[in-house]
Structure 1
Amino acid sequence: MRIISGKYKSKRISAPKNLPVRPTTDMAKESLFNILNNLYYFDSISVLDLFAGTGNISYEFASRGTETIYAVDAHFGCVKFINKTAKDLELDITTFKSDVFKFLEKTALKTDVIFADPPYDFEVEKFLKIVDLVFEKELLNEEGVLIVEHSKHTDLSNHPKYSYEKRYGGNVFSFFDN
């Protein structure tokens, strides 16, 4: 995986092989950040990265100047790797080792962008539960956006907060507006 832009542009990061992850592809990530670049000034937003895995998305935000980043993952190895990488690169990323659903139930954090990259084999109901929890708990700031990454075989477009989606190969980013 590589950081696309910002302070650490072109920096390659190698995650341990034993992590149970599927990092967002560089092509899809670059396209996603091109969209976000037109919506936000990265140095003035806060981000919540759910199912953070290797921290790929968190590193990209940090490299582009985002200073308030929270990364949540249930796997100890993933959280440990994010902490190590953040320390090595001197990035300010706050991690939480937690089941994402439990975290969303309990947290009072409000951010501008929430990115969720759950396992692609989740049932649609689990994807929608993430969306519902974010909006029920009012975890987005005004003008905030929730982005859920999923496979092309998952359709989230019936949710009332659904705005649009972008497809990149087998990857889909569904956007939900506050």
Structure 2
Amino acid sequence: MKKELSTRIIAGKYKGKKIKLPSKEVTRSSKNMLRESLFNILQFDIIDKNFVEVFGGSGSVGLEALSRDAKNVYFIEKNKDSYEVLKSNIKSLDEKPCIVRFGDAFEAIWDVIEELKAKKEKAYFYFDPPFSIREGYEDIYEKVTDLIKKIPKEVVESIIIEHMSNYDFPQTIGSYELYKKRKFGKSTLSFYR
């Protein structure tokens, strides 16, 4: 029998709650230290704000935002197994403020953007694409860069990219400027606004 992978919510109203992780072949979960640092940086800015986890996976980052009082959390996931795990994790916490989109992040993100525009609201966009060393994802960072260039500023609080530390995203992506960078071993967080 396969051991079920899991992690826990680090802080906030769901602190200590267990969330399931999809199999490692499918998704790479954001490390606890990285998640903790991300939210130490965002701190109270996240309260009552929208948060979009563009490559949803288990939802560990978006659910951490939910635990820390984000208003609505959007998740996009195209892998069926990860999507099922994500839905069950949301159900175990609070479904009301969560909006889950099943599909390719590069297409489904536009539904989220349209929804934000209609509400005249902004969001934190969190990009944690599969590492570019994975088969079939060699150009993923270029694709993410092209996508970010097209996101209208009216819906953006900040854009955060989790990526391999040996890859540097440009100082400027479209009308967004890099304002902070934090390295955690093999992973780095780059912040744009």
Q: Same fold (TM over 0.5)?
A: yes
Q: Which runs of 5+ in 2 are unaligned?
A: 1-6, 117-121
Q: Output the amino acid matched with 2:186.
A: G
In the alignment of these two chains, the number of paired residues is: 173
Q: Which residue of 1 aligns with 2:4?
A: none
The answer on whether the counterparts of 1:113 and 1:140 sit within 8 Å (CA) in structure 2 is: no
Q: Output the amino acid matched with 1:22.
A: R
Q: TM-score with structure 2 length normalisation? A: 0.80
2:125 to 100, 109, 114: 114
Cα drift, residue 105 of structure 1: 4.9
For the residues of structure 1 that align with 2:160 and 2:172, how far apart are their CA atoms?
13
Q: Which residue of 2 aligns with 1:14?
A: 20
| Cα 1:131–1:109 shift into 2, 3 Å | farther
Q: Which runs of 5+ in 1 are unaligned?
A: none
Q: How does 1:1-178 map to 2 (within 5 A)?
A: 1-17=7-23, 20-37=26-43, 40=45, 42-91=46-95, 92-105=97-110, 107-110=113-116, 111-121=122-132, 122-123=137-138, 125-138=139-152, 141=155, 144-160=157-173, 161-163=176-178, 164-177=180-193
SS at match of 1:51: coil
| Cα 1:18–1:137 shift into 2, 3 Å | closer
Q: TM-score with structure 1 length normalisation? A: 0.86
Deviation readout 1:112-138 (Å, 9 max, x if unpaired): 200011011244x53243243234231
For the residues of structure 1 that align with 2:23 and 2:172, how far apart are their CA atoms?
36
For the residues of structure 1 that align with 2:166 and 2:130, how far apart are their CA atoms?
13
Q: Output the amino acid matched with 2:42.
A: L
Measured on the aligned residues, the alpha-carbon RMSD in Å equals 2.1
Task: Please say which of residues 152-161 and 12-21 is displaced more in the overlay.
Answer: 12-21
Q: Output the amino acid matched with 1:4.
A: I
Cα drift, residue 155 of structure 1: 0.9
Q: Output the amino acid matched with 1:102.
A: E
